[in-house]
Amino acid sequence: MMRKVVLFMILTMGAYGAADSFEFSVFRDHLPRKEAGRLVISDAGVSYRSDHQKTVIEIPLINVFQADVSDPKVIRIETYDIMKQKLLGHRVHVFRLRSGVHDELPTRFLSKALQRPVIGAFGHAPQPEAVIRAYHRHRFGGCHGTIRIDSDAIRFASDRPEDSRTWLYRDLETLGTMNPFHFRVSTLAETFNFDLKERLPESAYELAVRRVYSLRPIKAAEPKTGSGAQLE
């Protein structure tokens, strides 16, 4: 009986550990040619080991300056380390999945584990405050999609998966609108400008603004009572 209990505990601990660990077979961008290896993302950080065992990269999560998982086939990790040869740019590690794509789970994990905004997208609330069809302007061209303003985040689902985003309110720096058919979202990592195909609902925009700037909701004025109240 005791052996069964111990075995159950081991299997349970393994299952919980697996939920917070993601392993990928990848190619690391490395001149003059790409390098094959294994990438692991977990509570311990971002870890990479090449197949020929000559390259080992260990990055604690606290040292991640920016994580970009917007492309389902690529994981881009930028650290705080400054590269002199890149004119004061940060050190960037780019890992490309050898096959298949990653799902939204690594994005959810990184969004929870990192202090800074994560570039990527994950699921939405069942009852959004507003759903607005929109066009995202790129520097050259753009893409079509849908903006969802939820209670916990603003989301953009694009017809191009790599352009889809989830912005938690805690990560947003500014929101803006010049008219009912324009919407702007800014984080430390990027700014998205949208041309809206339908009017931006005032109630949804007010909700987003109050979440971003930590403002209290407006309460309806209560009728006056007591000796000072006048009856018509």
Quick check: 216 pLDDT over 70? no
Could you give the CA distance from residue 50 to residue 35 in angstroms, rounded to a whole number?
Answer: 7
User: 8 or 59: whose pLDDT is higher?
Assistant: 59
pLDDT at 19: 57
With a pLDDT cut of 90, the percent of the chain lying above it is 70
All structural domains of the chain with their residue ranges: 20-119, 130-212
- Cα separation of 108 and 24, whole Å? 16
Reported as half-sphere exposure (CB side, CA atoms, 13 A), residue 160 has a value of 12
pLDDT-derived band at 89 (thresholds 50, 70, 90) equals: confident
The pLDDT score that the predictor gives to residue 11 is: 35
pLDDT for res 200: 95
Which residues face 202 on adjacent strands? none
pLDDT class of 215 with cuts at 50, 70, 90: low
Residue 127 pLDDT = 83
pLDDT tens column, 90-103: 899 999 999 999 99
Query: Is the CB of residue 47 less than 8 Å from the CB of residue 58?
Result: yes
CATH node for 130-212? 2.30.29.30
Q: Which of 170, 37, 153 has its CA nearest to residue 104?
A: 153
Q: In whole numbers, what is the pLDDT of the chain averaged over residues?
A: 85
Question: Three-state SS across the chain?
Answer: CHHHHHHHHHHHHHHHHHHCEEEEEEEECCCCCCEEEEEEEECCEEEEEECCCCCEEEECHHHEEEEECCCCCEEEEEEEEEEHHHCCEEEEEEEEECCCCCCCHHHHHHHHHCCCCEECCCCCCCCCCEEEEEEEECCCCEEEEEEEECCCEEEEEECCHHHCEEEEHHHEEEEECCCCCEEEEEECCCEEEEEECCCCCHHHHHHHHHHHCCCCCCCCCCCCCCCCCCCC
37 in Cβ contact with 49 (< 8 Å): yes
Residue with tokens 């720096």: 173
CATH of domain 20-119: 2.30.29.30
Residue 224 corresponds to which amino acid? K
Which of residues 12 and 90 earns the better pLDDT score? 90
pLDDT tens for 98-155 read 999 999 999 999 999 998 999 999 987 678 889 999 999 998 889 999 999 998 999 9
Q: Are 97 and 24 in contact (CB under 8 A)?
A: yes
pLDDT tens string 23-41: 999 999 987 889 999 999 9
Cα dihedral across residues 97, 63, 123, 20: positive or negative: positive
Domains 20-119 and 130-212 belong to one CATH topology: yes
Structure tokens at 112: 């929870």
